[in-house]
Amino acid sequence: MEFAELIKTPRADNVVLHCPFHLAVEGTLCLTGHHLIFSSRRHDNAEELWLLHSNIDSIDKRFVGSLGTIVIKCKDLRIIQLDIPGMEECLNIASSIEALSTLDSVTLMYPFFYRPMFEVLEDGWSSFLLEQEFELLSSVTNEWRLSCVNKEFSVCPSYPPVVIVPKSVDDEALRKVALFRHGGRFPVLSYYHKKNGMVMMRSSQPLTGTNGRRCKEDEKLVNATLRSGRRGFVIDTRPLNVAQQARAKGGGFEQEVHYPQWRRIHKYIERFNILQESFIKLVEACNDQSHNMDRWLSKLEASNWLTHIKELLTAACLAAQCIDRESASVLVHGSEGTDSTLQVTSLAQIILDPRCRTIRGFEALIVREWLQAGHPFQQRCAQSAYSNSKQKWEAPVFLLFLECVWQIHRQFPCSFEFNEQFLIMLFEHAYASQFGTFLGNNENERAKLKLPQKTMSLWSWVNRPEELSRFQNPLYEANSLVIWPSVAPQSLQLWEGVFLRWNRPSKFLEEAEKERINIIKYNKELQARVNALRRRLAELEVVEVPGEH
Amino acid sequence: VENVRLLDRLSSRRAVVGTLYLTATHVIFVENGSETRKETWVLHSQISSIEKQATTATGCPLLIRCKNFQVIQLVIPQERDCHDVYISLIRLARPVKYEELYCFSFNPKLDKEEREQGWKLVDLNEEYNRMGVPNNYWQISDVNRDYGVCDSYPTEVYVPKSATAHIIVGSSKFRSRRRFPALSYYCKGNNASICRSSQPLSGFSARCLEDEQMLQAIRKANPGSDFIYVVDTRPKLNAMANRAAGKGYENEDNYSNIKFQFIGIENIHVMRNSLQKMLEVCELKSPSMSDFLWGLENSGWLKHIKAIMDAGIFIAKAVAEEGVSVLVHCSDGWDRTAQVCSVASLLLDPYYRTMKGFMVLIEKDWVSFGHKFNHRYGNLDGDPKEISPVIDQFIECVWQLMEQFPCAFEFNERFLIHIQHHIYSCQFGNFLCNSQKERRELKIKERTYSLWAHLWKNRADYLNPLYRSDHSQSQGTLHPQIAPCNFLYKFWSGMYNRFEKGLHPRQSVTDYLMAVKEETQQLEEELEVLQERLANLQKSQSGNNKVKSKQQDRSKQFGLYTSNNSLANTPQEYSNDLKSFPSRSPSQGDEDSALILTQDNLKSSDPDLSANSDQESGVEDLSCRSPSGGGCLPSEDSGKDSDEAVFLAG
């Protein structure tokens, strides 16, 4: 195995591990092809730390005499420090970690080697098929159809093989529309609002260019989603000037003259490197050890992270409002339609659709609106906030989405079936995982890598009853209503569960969560006991009754 | 005055028309039209400022800011009416005599005995006994019997046994306003104590033998330790400046075995301005995230909160971990000293984290030791420079601790908010005047009611569902994280944006859990009944009993289901104030109970809630700025209109 070549020193003794809020521990460090393993035999209970190499974002090494110190910064934002005696060992280990954590071939990643220790009850790869989704849709409307136009990924490489489109538009028209949209991402159905039959579509920008090219089929497709006489809204996630500039590069936006039934709203959402920089600055601020209160707030402000959260939530609320309150259909797009577009469409569904607030429904949402919709996870999540490399494809787009869900969760703590841990788990797995779910940039790549055959799906693991119980919100009471979050600065908070997770003592908060669970659990137990007794009594009384009269 | 418009702060489009009434005690706004005729009641004593703004085409705007952070914007059609209202309110909001305050006319229809019982709820003698004094080291001193030594101290003060009357009096002469060192908290476990005083009149070189003996006596009262900390809670520069005025701080050379320590908490003027700045940020109309964070930082408020916490943590650590006694002072020893001593006590002793204990703590460190409630909270018309949110800061420190230790406190956030409210409301006599002496002269206990009894009666509303007396967080000393901890201090929107319900979480975990716990209790009772019946049934067959209990069960069952349903479908009913007084619904009877409700802002928050609540969606609109204002569906026009205005502007 070629990993062996990368591991010059597979094992080092007398290594000291420093973790925040834990006493330093001495033990043995082992490197394997995919893990860094630290084990200490102190006390009776041997402590072990298993760290996926792919979770390592960056490492620093320094020496004091012959004692080497490696600081490992992880993609889940954790920082650990290893003191390794012996300069050579330390150098070897550092270079091995560096090599193993930056493998450039996907097929060398851990998911291809991971063998689950659990019995697979349900294969997650086929848990959320668009066909099932369409079946649900068909029970309420017959205006839509499943199209296999993209079967070979030939029309749009970043779309799944099947998509839902208006019934009145045939595959031939779709092919033409695809040529008129960036990356072939023609408008497809994202969400159907049962309450009033309004829909949310998503696409990429139209390729109008400077001379105002138009595409009759595109106009027809878009208009097919409108009820007669009604208007719709195009939510463009770029500011007007950016959209205008895009024309010079062949892109553009829907012009009023050609789309008279549509009103365009530009709602700017930051993208790519700006978000990545913001992420890096925020994490820096959170790790700042100084005692100065003022610097903390100004650093938090300067990171602009919460500004992005506020803008994203506002855009999603706007989309939801157009659908639910204005009874208008909505088309969402930015440039490529693979980032901010998906943030908006998926958050709007959280607000509008109670199903998306269940565990199963939220998983389906992520599969549908992120994985199948072609969010380039592999590019975006290649590095996290500690990366030194200035690659331009990384961006915490998915993390921002998860945080917005958390913000809504915080405002409606009883309306979600899952808890904060569930969101944090998704964040972790998007960046480093033993499962193949978040590998690849779209369904096309996943199919080529044969991920469903060669790797395990995250959902196969998560949806096992024993795992699910960790992610359930004890306070959940199904809430069938639309939930409108507040986007005022006073209502938005830093997501401590992710950003301060390793810098704050969590004991007291965990105890509180345990207490909450116990209160609910005890209540349910009593309910069960009371019901059982009632039944028992009822039976006894039935027997008694004849005797009474 | 009729046809007055009450504006929604966040959206000028959403205004209600109604009639404004001024009574001897309240400003009342009654909404026209709607069947419910919503009312907003504001106590005159809550009014902090009134601003008459330039007349516009629609009328004359009047802005009323309240001390409980409510902001009311009215537009009065006639300029003359507005002026009259303005002039009357200015007079009414600034009473000159204590007798004008609401507590002297407030009558909750309790008889004399109940009133006396109420005042007895918190008994400081009992409290000192609980702490373990008097004992071999500490005794009660009657030196201040008739307030002869210090008129801002209580009559009964605990001092070290070895401190004779001569030493006490001598020391008092060497201390600002004669506030000599006295016991605030005694730690039974290790004899360490927290004492408090004012600054010494040391100037550049003055000494006082008795004062030195006094500190020595405090040290001797803790035989386990060979020194005491003297903590000056002022910034060093301020303390040094005081020396020029013949005051100052202890010189370590003159006192044997003291360790002197400055902990820089700013003075009341800095704090007043800081709060002012923070409230300006809270009042911003649709601020951006940067506006808000920048404004919050610029106000310095959280930095000050942290400074107070740090001081409390330092003292608690000295007492609990080092077993060293601490003498705390600032300038006069009635503001920062009270804050710091009470924070330290709260950290040290789980009793103060119970509902009753917290009342005792405020009574001990604030009321009895002469915190100048009247001056600080502007109950009577006075010098605006004396006003400062001193106890507000302490209350916020408690909230910050509650956030860090969710299971450690028996009470919830609502308890803190209501105490803050009543410190300003003057509805109860507890916080009147500047000292115990003044309160005794006014015969407060005979003429007014105690807030503690009122809160105690409604304690079910103030419980923290996560609190268990046997939980590890409710034992022993709390150890807040010291560093890095900046991010642990958060903006308290529940207090400072208290009346903007739209900003708060729409579902309250606390209320939800309390409802579950209540249900659990009912289930426990039912279980017992059922088990008993089962036993009876198995033994014999008695028919009568059965029918009766069956009915009982049904009614219980019904109660359970309704409570669950309301939780699931209309979360907004769980926002704070509607739930806060469930045990005192107006249907309970007499006029006065209705009046109490209004005092507690049930009424005033009502329009807020109803304006935002939307039965169709079950939740409030997008940060109160959605087009579809009231409960009805949006009209096409207004909706589209606001879409642009609201979201595009942002």
Q: Is position A218 within any domain?
A: yes
The minimum CA-CA distance between A122 and chain B, rounded to whole Å, is 31
**Domain identity same for B72 and B174:** no
**How many CB pairs (< 8 A) connect A and B?**
243
Q: Which of B495, B511, B527 is where one domain is finished?
A: B511
Q: Quick check: A318 and B647 CB within 8 A?
A: yes
CA distances in angstroms from A129 to A143, A372, A377, B157, B518, listed in the order given: 20, 10, 19, 76, 43
Residues of chain B scoring pLDDT < 70: 9-14, 34-36, 483-485, 540-650
Q: Is position B343 within any domain?
A: yes
CB of A412 within 8 Å of any CB in chain B? yes
Residues of chain A neighbouring B620 (CB-CB closer than 8 A): 484, 486
**Domain identity same for A154 and A83:** no
**Domain identity same for B18 and B140:** no
Closest residue, chain B, to A237 (C-alpha) = B648
**Domain identity same for B260 and B154:** yes
Q: Which has the closest alpha carbon to A438: A367, A497, A386, A499?
A: A367
Please give the structure tokens belonging to residue B113.
């005995």
Vertex A521, ends A520 and A523: CA angle to 5°?
A: 65
CB of B618 within 8 Å of any CB in chain A? yes
CB of A543 within 8 Å of any CB in chain B? no
Q: Is position A53 within any domain?
A: yes
- C-alpha B193/C-alpha B627 separation (Å) is 59
Closest residue, chain A, to B643 (C-alpha) = A318
Judge contact between A221 and A165, C-beta under 8 A: yes
Q: Is position A74 within any domain?
A: yes
Q: Which has the closest alpha carbon to A330: A379, A269, A262, A385?
A: A262
Q: Is position B268 within any domain?
A: yes
**Domain identity same for A374 and A438:** yes
Q: Quick check: A490 and B282 CB within 8 A?
A: yes
Q: Quick check: A411 and B506 CB within 8 A?
A: yes
Which among B465, B541, B623 has the least Cβ separation from residue A548? Answer: B541
pLDDT at residue A477 above 70?
A: yes
Region A356-374: what's the mean pLDDT? 97
Q: Quick check: A325 and B287 CB within 8 A?
A: no
Q: Quick check: B290 and A541 CB within 8 A?
A: no
CB of A10 within 8 Å of any CB in chain B? no
Mean pLDDT of chain A: 92
| Chain B (262-301) residues lying within 8 Å, Cβ to Cβ, of chain A | 282, 286-294, 296-297, 300
- C-alpha B448/C-alpha B118 separation (Å) is 10
How many domains, chain B? 2
Per this entry, what is the length of chain B?
650
Q: By percentage, how much of chain A surpasses pLDDT 90?
A: 82
The CATH number of the domain where B53 resides is what? Answer: 2.30.29.30
Residues of chain B neighbouring A314 (CB-CB closer than 8 A): 647, 650
Per residue in B422-470, pLDDT (tens digit) is: 999 999 999 999 999 999 999 999 999 999 999 999 999 999 999 988 8
Region A205-228: what's the mean pLDDT? 93
Please give the structure tokens belonging to residue B221.
């009262």
Q: Which has the closest alpha carbon to A282: A403, A381, A379?
A: A403
Binding site for substrate: what residues of B are annotated? 267-268, 330-336
- C-alpha B52/C-alpha B89 separation (Å) is 11
- Mutation to test the B interface, candidates A327, A400, A486, most B Cβ within 10 Å: A486
Q: Quick check: B571 and A415 CB within 8 A?
A: yes
Q: Is position B217 within any domain?
A: yes
CB of B303 within 8 Å of any CB in chain A? yes
Write out the residue range of the structural domain in which residue B32 sits: 4-94
Q: Is position A117 within any domain?
A: no
**Domain identity same for A88 and A156:** no
Residues of chain A neighbouring B297 (CB-CB closer than 8 A): 294, 297-298, 301
Binding site: what residues of B are annotated? 267-268, 330-336
Strand partners of residue A199: A192
**Domain identity same for B427 and B465:** yes
**Domain identity same for A87 and A173:** no
**Domain identity same for B15 and B144:** no
Write out the residue range of the structural domain in which residue A196 sits: 130-504
Packing angle, helices B301-317 and A293-303, rounded to 10: 140
Residues of chain A neighbouring B617 (CB-CB closer than 8 A): 324, 481-484
Judge contact between B497 and B282, C-beta under 8 A: yes
Q: Quick check: A321 and B643 CB within 8 A?
A: yes
Q: Is position A158 within any domain?
A: yes
The CATH number of the domain where B408 resides is what? Answer: 3.90.190.10
Q: Quick check: B287 and A530 CB within 8 A?
A: no
Burial B236-265 (b: 16+ CB within 10 A, else e): eebbeebbeeebbbbeeebbeebeebbbbb
Q: Is position A519 within any domain?
A: yes
Residues of chain A neighbouring B650 (CB-CB closer than 8 A): 311, 314
CB of B569 within 8 Å of any CB in chain A? yes
Note the pLDDT of residue B12.
52
Note the pLDDT of residue B546.
44
Q: Is position B258 within any domain?
A: yes
**Domain identity same for A491 and A524:** no
Residues of chain B neighbouring A326 (CB-CB closer than 8 A): 634, 636, 639-640, 643
Which among B404, B487, B617 has the least Cβ separation from residue A484? Answer: B617
| Chain B (410-449) residues lying within 8 Å, Cβ to Cβ, of chain A | none
**Domain identity same for B125 and B85:** no
Closest residue, chain B, to A495 (C-alpha) = B487
- In the DSSP assignment, the letter for residue B53 is P
Q: Quick check: B569 and A481 CB within 8 A?
A: yes
**Domain identity same for A495 and A533:** no
CB of A475 within 8 Å of any CB in chain B? yes
Judge contact between B346 and B392, C-beta under 8 A: no
**Domain identity same for B452 and B415:** yes
| Chain B (519-538) residues lying within 8 Å, Cβ to Cβ, of chain A | 519-520, 523-524, 526-527, 530-531, 533-534, 537-538
The CATH number of the domain where A87 resides is what? Answer: 2.30.29.30
**Domain identity same for B260 and B163:** yes
Q: Is position B534 within any domain?
A: no
pTM score, two decimals?
A: 0.89
**Domain identity same for A74 and A206:** no
What string of H, E and C letters represents the secondary structure of B373-420? HHHHCCCCCCCHHHCCCHHHHHHHHHHHHHHHCCCCCCECHHHHHHHH
Per residue in A250-260, pLDDT (tens digit) is: 999 999 999 99
**Domain identity same for A233 and A159:** yes
Q: Is position B462 within any domain?
A: yes
CB of A317 within 8 Å of any CB in chain B? yes
- C-alpha A41/C-alpha A47 separation (Å) is 7
CA distances in angstroms from A115 to A15, A428, A461, B164, B283, listed in the order given: 29, 19, 12, 80, 57
The catalytic residues of B are 330
Q: Quick check: A537 and B502 CB within 8 A?
A: no
Q: Which of A15-29, A160-174, B90-104 has the highest mean pLDDT?
A: A160-174
Note the pLDDT of residue B421.
95
Please give the structure tokens belonging to residue A535.
């039944």
Note the pLDDT of residue B551.
39
Per residue in A310-340, pLDDT (tens digit) is: 999 999 999 999 999 999 999 999 999 999 9
Q: Is position B591 within any domain?
A: no
**Domain identity same for B81 and B131:** no
**Domain identity same for A67 and A138:** no
Local structure of B272: helix, strand or coil = helix
Note the pLDDT of residue A170.
95
Please give the structure tokens belonging to residue B164.
């004779």
Note the pLDDT of residue B567.
30
Kindly write down the DSSP assignment for every residue of B322-343, as one continuous string.
I--EEEEE-SSSSSHHHHHHHH
What string of H, E and C letters represents the secondary structure of A472-524? ECCCCCCCCCCCCCCCCHHHCCCCHHHHCCCCCCCHHHHHHHHHHHHHHHHHH
Note the pLDDT of residue B233.
96
- Confidence grade of residue A109 (pLDDT, cut at 50, 70, 90): very high
Q: Quick check: B407 and A511 CB within 8 A?
A: yes
**Domain identity same for B18 and B164:** no
- C-alpha A285/C-alpha B366 separation (Å) is 38
Q: Quick check: B534 and A540 CB within 8 A?
A: yes
**Domain identity same for B122 and B255:** yes
- C-alpha A505/C-alpha A21 separation (Å) is 7
CB of A498 within 8 Å of any CB in chain B? no
Local structure of A148: helix, strand or coil = coil
Residue, of B598 and A511, whose pLDDT is higher: A511
The minimum CA-CA distance between A295 and chain B, rounded to whole Å, is 8
- Mutation to test the A interface, candidates B305, B506, B527, B546, most A Cβ within 10 Å: B506
Q: Sheet holding B11-22: strands in order across?
A: B39-43, B26-31, B11-22, B4-8, B71-76, B60-66, B47-52
- C-alpha B624/C-alpha B630 separation (Å) is 10
Q: Quick check: A414 and B294 CB within 8 A?
A: no
**Domain identity same for A192 and A299:** yes
CB of B24 within 8 Å of any CB in chain A? no
**Domain identity same for A155 and A63:** no
Per residue in A368-384, pLDDT (tens digit) is: 999 999 999 999 999 99
Residues of chain A neighbouring B515 (CB-CB closer than 8 A): none
- C-alpha B47/C-alpha B164 separation (Å) is 47
Q: Which of A103, A119, A140 is where one domain is finished?
A: A103
**Domain identity same for A411 and A279:** yes
Per residue in A39-74, pLDDT (tens digit) is: 987 666 667 899 999 999 999 999 888 889 999 999
Q: Which of B492, B511, B530 is where one domain is finished?
A: B511
- Confidence grade of residue A228 (pLDDT, cut at 50, 70, 90): confident
Q: Which of A87, A103, A119 is where one domain is finished?
A: A103
How many domains, chain A? 3
CA distances in angstroms from B202 to B46, B207, B265, B312, listed in the order given: 40, 6, 21, 25
Q: Which has the closest alpha carbon to B638: B12, B7, B13, B6?
A: B13
Q: Is position B358 within any domain?
A: yes
Residue, of A442 and A545, whose pLDDT is higher: A442
Local structure of B74: helix, strand or coil = strand
| Chain A (441-470) residues lying within 8 Å, Cβ to Cβ, of chain B | none
Which among A322, A504, A515 has the least Cβ separation from residue B488? Answer: A504
Neighbours of A298 (CB within 10 A): 17
**Domain identity same for B255 and B296:** yes
Q: Which of B31, B62, B94 is where one domain is finished?
A: B94
Q: Is position A215 within any domain?
A: yes
Which among A309, A475, A540 has the least Cβ separation from residue B537? Answer: A540
Pairing of strands B258-262, B228-232: parallel
Please give the structure tokens belonging to residue A147.
């199209």
